[in-house]
Amino acid sequence: MERAHFYSPQAGRLVEAPSHSRARFAIGDVVRHRTHDFRGVIFDIDPVFANSDEWYESIPKEARPTREQPYYHLLAENGESSYIAYVSQQNLTGDGEAGPVDHPSVDELFQDFAEGRYRLRASLTH
* pLDDT tens per residue, range 5-24: 666 666 676 666 665 668 89
Beta strands in the chain (DSSP E): 3-8, 13-18, 30-33, 39-46, 71-77, 82-88, 92-94, 110-114, 117-120
CATH number of the domain to which 56 belongs: 2.30.30.390
pTM confidence score:
0.84
Q: Which pLDDT score is estimated for 123?
A: 79
Average pLDDT taken over every residue of the chain = 89
Domains in the chain, number: 1
The answer to whether the beta carbons of residues 34 and 81 sit under 8 Å apart is no
Q: Which pLDDT score is estimated for 15?
A: 65
Name the residue range of residue 93's domain. Answer: 3-124
